Amino acid sequence: MPATPVPTPDDPVTAVLAASDGHFQQGQAALKLGHLDEARAEFNQAVDVLLKWPGGVNADIRLRRRFDDLVDRISTEELTALAEGDGFTEKKYEPASIDQLLALSTFGKATPPPDWQKLEQTVSSDLQQPGHDLSIPLNDQVLSYVELFSGKLHDWFQASLDRGSPYLPMIRRVFRADGLPQDLAYVPIVESAFKSDALSRASAKGVWQFMRTTAVENGLKHDWYVDERSDPRKATLAAAKYLQTLEQTFDGNWPLALASYNGGPGRVQGAIRRAHGVTDFWALAAKPRLLPRETREYVPMILAAIIVARNPTKYGFTVPHVQPVICDTVKLPQPVDLRRVAEWTGTSVEQIQALNPELRRWTTPVRAKDYELKVPQGTGDLVRARLQDAEGSDVDLASLRWYTVRRGESLLGIARRLRVRRSDLAEANYLSIRARLRAGQKLIVPREPGVILSARAGDDSSAQVVAASREEERRVRITYRVRRGDTLYRIARQFDTSVERLKRWNHLRGTRLSIGARLTVYTLESLADAGQE
C-alpha cells in the first residue's frame, strides 16, 4: 500500500505575492473609474505588503523581482491615468451623424425599391393625419430618406430615438414657449443622433451642431473650461433663438430656414438672388450650382426624420421609454477635479462628464464663482460635505498648479518653459494670446502629464501617495548616497517625490540600486539635510 503523501505547508512568500497582486488589481480598477485616492491607497498597500516582509524585499529573490516589477507597473499606471486626465487634455468627441449621413446621401440617385409604392402610400396617409406643424411635401427626395432610415439605417435611427427620449420633452417645452413648430424637435437626429459630444469635421459641436461663432452670437459660452454647445438644455435655448431668427429672415419659409441652418443664411440668400428671386427650396435644389450638395441633401433628410420620428411604429420602430435625467446640483466655491467628485460619489469620471457635458476637461472652471455641477441623484450632500471639509485647508481639489511670473517673462517664454501651448496657457487664464504679463502675476497652469503621483511618508509604515504639484524650481539639488536597504520607492517617500522622477533625474531604466551609489535628487529645502552627503 503506497504511503500517504505528507501535505506541504503553504508557502508564505506565495501568499504575500498574492496579497500584493490583489491590492495592485484593486488599484487598477480604481484608476479606471478615476478614483485616484483609492488607487493610491491600494498601490501603497501592494508595495507595503512586500516591504513589511521580515528582512525586506531582498530576503527572497521572488519578492525582489515582484517589487521591481511592481514599482515599474505602478509608475506606468499612474502616468497613464494622469496623462489621460491631466487638466490640459480635452475630452474625446464622437463623429457627428451629419457627416456620416452625407456619405450615404440619396438625393436624385438609385432606382426605387420594389416596395416604394407601399412606402409612398404609408407616408401619404401619415402626412394627412393631424399632428404635423410643418408642411412636408411628398416627393422622391423625402421618400428616399424615409426608406433609408426605416431600412438600412433602422438600428441607427432607433438608437437616435432612444438617446433623444430624455431631451425631447424639454425641447418641446422650449419650442412651444417660443412659438416654434414642434416638428423641429427632431432636427438633432440628423445633426448629432442626440449625442452631446458629437463633433463634425467642420468643428460644429453638440446636439444642435453649432459652429462656435453662431453659438456665441446666440448666447452660449465658450472658453478653455466650458463649451455650452455640448449642454443639451443650454444649446436648445440657443437653437430656438437662432431658428426664430432664420424664420424671420425667410418670412416663415421653413425649407429655406432649414437650408440656412445648415449652409448659413448668406449662402441661401445668394442662391435666391442668382435664381432671380425664386424662393422655393425644391426649385433651388434642382439646380446644383445654386446650393452645395450638403444643403440640398439636408432639408429632405430633416423632413424624412420628422416623418419617421413622429410616428415610429408605422415605420417599424418602437416608441422609446422616456427616462428623464435626474440629478443633484452642487455649487462649487472653487475649481474641482472631476476625479475627486467621481470618488466622492462612488461613480466614474465618465458618469460625471455625462451629467456635465459642457465641461471640456477634467477640471471645473477656475473663475466661475459658485459653478453648478451636476452629480448623481442622492449624492449632492456627500459632495457638499467633502467641499466643507476642504474649506479653509490647503487641499488642492483641482489638477492645477500656480506659476509666478518673473520680471521680463512673456506668455510664449513661460509656455516653452513649461512645455505647454501658448494658446492653452492664455485661455486657461482668460488672457489674450498677446497679453503682457507683470512680475508677480499668478498664472494657473494645468498639471503636466509627466508629474507622477509621489509618495509622502505618513505617521505609520504605510505610504500615503499624493499628487506632486510643486514646481521643481522651488526645490534644491542634492546628492544622495544609497544605503543598505534603500529602494527607489523609499527614497522617493523620504524626499517627497516620485519613483518616476528619480529615474528621470538619474537616467535609470530599472529600479535596482547599488550600495554607495550617488543619486541626484531635487527636494524641498526642509528635507535637503536628510540625505545630503
CB 75 within 8 A of CB 453: no
Rounded Cα gap, residues 508 and 378, in angstroms = 48
Helix runs in 1-60, H state only: 12-33, 36-51
Contacts of residue 301, defined as CB under 8 A and 6 or more positions apart, other chains included, come to 101, 145, 190
Rounded Cα gap, residues 219 and 214, in angstroms = 9
Rounded Cα gap, residues 412 and 284, in angstroms = 50
Of 77, 78, 147, 191, which one is the catalytic site residue? 191
CB 81 within 8 A of CB 451: no
- The CA R_g of the chain, rounded to the nearest whole Å, is 30
Contacts of residue 370, defined as CB under 8 A and 6 or more positions apart, other chains included, come to 331, 332, 333
Rounded Cα gap, residues 479 and 211, in angstroms = 55
For β-strands 327-332 and 371-376, DSSP reports them as: antiparallel
Contacts of residue 350, defined as CB under 8 A and 6 or more positions apart, other chains included, come to 34
Residues 332, 338, 341: CA angle, nearest 5 degrees: 70
Q: Which residue has the cell 529645502?
A: 525
Rounded Cα gap, residues 244 and 257, in angstroms = 9
Contacts of residue 253, defined as CB under 8 A and 6 or more positions apart, other chains included, come to 279, 281
Contacts of residue 306, defined as CB under 8 A and 6 or more positions apart, other chains included, come to 132, 134, 136, 183, 184, 186
CB 102 within 8 A of CB 71: no
- Check if 191 is active-site: yes
Rounded Cα gap, residues 460 and 477, in angstroms = 28
Q: Which helix (H) or strand (E) holds 453?
A: strand 453-457
Q: Which helix (H) or strand (E) holds 266?
A: helix 265-274
Q: Which grid coordinates are listed for 14?
A: 506565495
Give the up-direction half-sphere exposure of residue 395: CA atoms within 13 A in the CB hemisphere: 13
Q: Which grid coordinates are listed for 243?
A: 431658428
DSSP track, 489-530: HHHHHHTT--HHHHHHHTT-SSS---TT-EEEEEE-GGGGGG
Q: Which residue has the cell 536597504?
A: 485
- Is the alpha carbon torsion for 387, 393, 395, 399 positive or negative? positive
Which active-site residues does the annotation give?
Answer: 191
